[in-house]
Amino acid sequence: MTIDERRARRVGDLLAGMSLDEKLAQLVGVWLNVNREEGVVAPLQDAMQGEDVAFEEFARHGLGQITRHYGTRPVDPEWASTLLAARQRWLLDHTRLGVPALAHEECLTGLAAWRATTYPVPPAWGASFDPELVERMGRQIGSSMAALGIHQGLAPVLDVIRDQRWGRVEECVSEDPYEVATIGAAYVRGLQSAGVIATLKHFVGYSNSRAGRNLAPVHAGPREVSDVLLFPFEVAVRDAGAGSVMNSYAEIDGIPVAADAHYLTRILRDEWGFEGTVVADYFAVAFLHTLHAVASDAEDAAVQALTAGIDVELPTGVAYLEPLKRAVSSGRIAESLIDRALRRVLLQKAELGLLDDDYEPAPSGPVDLDGAESRALARQLAEESIVLLTNNGLLPLGDGAGRRVAVIGPNADSVTALFGCYSFVNHVLPHFPDVEPGIASPTLLDALRTEFPDAVLQVEPGTGVDDGDRTGIADAARLAAASDVVILVLGDRSGLFGRGTSGEGCDVDTLDLPGVQQELADAVIATGTPVVAVLLTGRAYAVPGILREAAAVVQAFFPGEEGAGAIARVLSGAVNPSGRLPMSMPGSVAGQPYSYLHPRLGAASSVSNIDPAPVLGFGHGLSYTSFAYEEVTVAGTAPAADGSIRCSVVVRNAGDRAGAEIVQVYASDVVASVTRPVAQLVGYARVELDPGERASVDFEVPTRLLAFTGRDGRRVVEPGEVTVTVRRSVTDVVAERPVTLTGPVYEITGAERRLTTVDVQKPHHSEKGHSS
């Protein structure tokens, strides 16, 4: 008998002998040591948490999950590991069936625990256009988690950015679904290669909320959901083998996803073949009653969620314990639905080895959660993600020797400005003000002093991030006027539920810079001293004046604990910037919602006085070197039926220093039966070249990427004319070629290849097999 057969038999034996109380206990989590008064880290946590209860009392019939054992308070990792092992030991020894619990944690920017490495936020992953690096990061995060006895990570977020006013933009990879899919799948592969289950968030539609408001109704028709929002999840499930999915809080066309079997069962399981577990976003089951008002009480909510396909209620059991017990006892719901969810949970525990006879919980012992390898990955990702938006030649600054440098702005000397809302520093530590961050992370000012030791640096914040204080602007302008160059550091403060300018529950109604930072920028630029503006943000802001008038502008999406040094090295020239915008840079403060994936009517025309075009497009980014595109060839025909479009380009580093170019391939239908985007990304390659070096980059683009939902609701690839373009960004076209898709209309089956294969060949060197 194989290991899998033994584990399946063990699951069957357990399920057959369990009481209803024991079954339900496996479908819920327990969240202990929550700071009820000030430690809110989940929506309406203070109202939804339920009564405090001892672990042993809650788990007397067993336990499905342990919620955020490390990530709720600042706890010493070694001590917490010993406690976790003791609790698993208690479950083995003091419950009738002896089934251990799964431990889950947040891990969007690294393990969200005290003293753990904090990496850049997902938009920085998108800016890097480097899925291999993201996979390495995911593997490193997973290794740290596994060492602590953690089994499941609540990441990645695969929501496609649709409205940059939404506070959770900083948790998303990109406005392009193909890039979200490739980067997100890489993170899943990395995390799961370390033995930790990845949880896809938030399935589905969450990012398409009306007016960019968190947890607001979703404005999307079935075609947009199918053609844009579902694709990254499909790739993560079918291509990367994700083990878990978390429902979206959203309601789409009046039906909350937590109660929608169309998405949670018919698409996810019946169509895509997903075999893992669906876990509820925190309190989402109870929200069916308290927020959405589609359930009359907790029992009704639990019945709807379980029937739709939510297997596990997180973070606690307020809806799945007593309410479901009543529903089964009264005959309102068949116990077989409990068994359906339970089998999935037990099979996952079996796959993790938790049901093996030789499973033995053990503390981690001494563990370094912020070691050299982790920091090196954080540094590389930060460096690759920084985007040089504009540059009149002032950058790089070199060693800065003898220069009088004014460092101005509210984010210049702030550690927290480097981190997103799901970092432990910004997620938990604000509720524990006397606790140190636990990781070594210099501010940008610190890093500038290190990078420019022979420059004369003087500092003036000018204003706060969003406090509206103008009293320091005049002092900042005087300092700027007396300096040779200004480094102006503007941007966000990430937080939760209104405690920041970016982050969960920190939505905005305009894309102006927060507070009076624009006034500070105007005053400093007006002095005539050359200004390098550094934007430390979670979203792209509308700053056309700064882009036009500053000598150079650098965009850094919360770059993590190594981010300050990375920015400083880009400014000096020690690092050649290679990041590209993963979201469009808006041209006006009210130009949302916007996506480059718009049809023709989404562009400017003579019938409206509003031009929605961004000031800088998706994929834009400059370098300190230049790249020449010398040859572009595209095969003229390809079968619509599961075919491939072959495209090749030769890229040469035409400058005098090493750098990386992001080669981008787009496609568009000339005519289709429904309106289609004027361009959509179908492949990309990060190509690193020495001065004078060239590379041949070959793309094999599956025609599946040109599929869409037709008028009859079927997903099809239509024959006809397609335009394929090679671009430096969505607005910078290098070459355009026509392609004819041949044969009849092809209906998508799901078995088609979904990702473009990329082959980068240099003289005496090749990198094959990469899927972008």
Active site residues: 219, 281
C-beta separation of 228 from 597 below 8 A: yes
In Å, what is the CA distance from 526 to each residue of 465, 544, 545?
Answer: 20, 15, 11
C-beta separation of 127 from 389 below 8 A: no
Strand order in the sheet with 715-717: 708-709, 715-717, 746-747
Q: How far apart are CA 340 and CA 332, in angstroms?
A: 16
Length of the chain measured in residues: 772
Contacts (Cβ under 8 Å, ≥6 apart) of 590: 510, 511
- The position carrying tokens 């808006």 is 586
Crossing angle of helices 298-308 and 322-329, in 10° steps, is 80
In Å, what is the CA distance from 493 to each residue of 122, 237, 301, 381, 412?
Answer: 16, 34, 36, 21, 12
Q: How far apart are CA 622 and CA 580, in angstroms?
A: 8
Contacts (Cβ under 8 Å, ≥6 apart) of 57: none
In Å, what is the CA distance from 165 to each residue of 79, 210, 211, 383?
Answer: 41, 10, 7, 26
Q: Which helix (H) or strand (E) holds 427?
A: helix 424-427
Q: Which helix (H) or strand (E) holds 168?
A: none
- The position carrying tokens 């194989």 is 2
Around 707, how many Cα atoms within 13 Å sit in the side-chain half-sphere?
Answer: 27
Q: Which helix (H) or strand (E) holds 696?
A: strand 694-702
Give the amino acid at 119. Y
Q: How far apart are CA 179 and CA 517, in angstroms?
A: 32
Closest CA to 684 of 728, 646, 716: 728
* Cα 692 to chain centroid, rounded: 35
Taking residue 185's Cβ as centre, other Cβ atoms within 10 Å add up to: 30
Give the amino acid at 752. E
Say whether the peptide bond before residue 453 is cis (omega within 30 degrees of 0).
no
Any long-range contacts for 38-43 (C-beta under 8 Å, 24+ apart)?
Answer: 38/431, 39/72, 39/73, 39/428, 39/431, 40/496, 40/497, 41/72, 41/427, 41/428, 41/496, 42/282, 42/283, 42/315, 43/215, 43/249, 43/282, 43/283, 43/497, 43/504, 43/505
Within 38-121, residue ranges assigned H as helices are 45-48, 55-58, 77-94
Q: Which helix (H) or strand (E) holds 634?
A: strand 627-634
- The position carrying tokens 């060839």 is 633
